[in-house]
Amino acid sequence: MSAPGGGRLERAALRFGELAIEGWSRAGEETWFRVHPPGLAFDCGRGAPELAGARDLFLTHGHLDHALGVPWVLSQRTLHHREPTRVVCPLPTVEPLRDLILAASRLEGVDYRYELVGVVPGERLIAGRELAVEAFATDHVIPSVGYHLLRRRRHLRPEYLGRPGRELAELRGRGVAIEVESEEVWLSYCGDTGAGVFELSPRIAESRVLLIECTFLGAAMRDRGSAYGHLHLEELAAAAPRLEGCEAIVLHHLSRRHGERELRAEVERALPTLAARIRILFEETLGS
């Protein structure tokens, strides 16, 4: 794949503490991400080998740059993995997606092993040890959702902080509840969305890592965002004050008319307080 300016785009690999994200995203071409833990997929692009290991596919909406890969991944997984694949998508997407999968299945003469689950915003699924995925509302031109990856964490109660390990073990052994549980939004993934997402799903601002699209830049493209259900950089800039709590923000889904360096320059100009925390997909893989 080539980038504006002639650079070659490899899949991106990002790391945030224990969280590893690999993926590929360009508006109108394809978008997919694989997230470890738990190894799930957010969107499927047109089908990428990296997705074949994912037991859970969380699809944001039915546009083919995000969804066409679903039958391909199911075909690969049915061939190489025994466990069924769970495909999660917005509830109104279930029926047409099932038709697409069944057509591919008939074409190949193979019965795919999968389960199709339709979700509405607020619905939650277990996604691994201490992990859950919850759908949230996004703002696109066809039915769409985004997904929070939620992590349950245990912390010592304040009164036990600083006590020696032996004492804590002894208390634990006696059945004393020395810990409290809390839940954090570890990551939020917005697929395609317009600026309505900030009102519809304010909890994305609580994410430690926020993957959010930024399709358009520049004055000439200012009205494109709202017309196509995508974000323009100026809309992200307007929302910047609410995103101050995010530790990292990853921008993806850039239009082919723009380049990563152009986006970086705009980020430095329009989002100065967030710029150091903003990662731009492919920026690291482009070279200089």
- List residues near Zn ion by CB under 5 A: 63, 65, 192
Q: How far is the CB of 34 from Zn ion (least distance, A)?
A: 17
**C-alpha closest to that of 209 among 253, 183, 246:** 246
CB-wise, 56 or 65, nearer to Zn ion? 65
CB-wise, 149 or 190, nearer to Zn ion? 190
Residue 251, amino acid:
L
Cβ atoms of residues 61 and 192 within 8 Å = yes
Q: How far is the CB of 65 from Zn ion (least distance, A)?
A: 5
Q: How far is the CB of 59 from Zn ion (least distance, A)?
A: 11
CB-wise, 76 or 255, nearer to Zn ion? 255
Q: How far is the CB of 31 from Zn ion (least distance, A)?
A: 5
Give dist(CA 95, CA 99) in Å, integer.
6
Q: How far is the CB of 183 from Zn ion (least distance, A)?
A: 29
CB-wise, 60 or 85, nearer to Zn ion? 60
Q: What tokens does 280 get?
A: 């731009």
Three-point CA angle 195, 255, 23, nearest 5°: 90
CB-wise, 65 or 266, nearer to Zn ion? 65
> Any idea which residue has 């504006």 for tokens?
4
Give dist(CA 151, CA 252) in Å, integer.
23
Give dist(CA 203, CA 119) in Å, integer.
18
Give dist(CA 145, CA 204) in Å, integer.
12
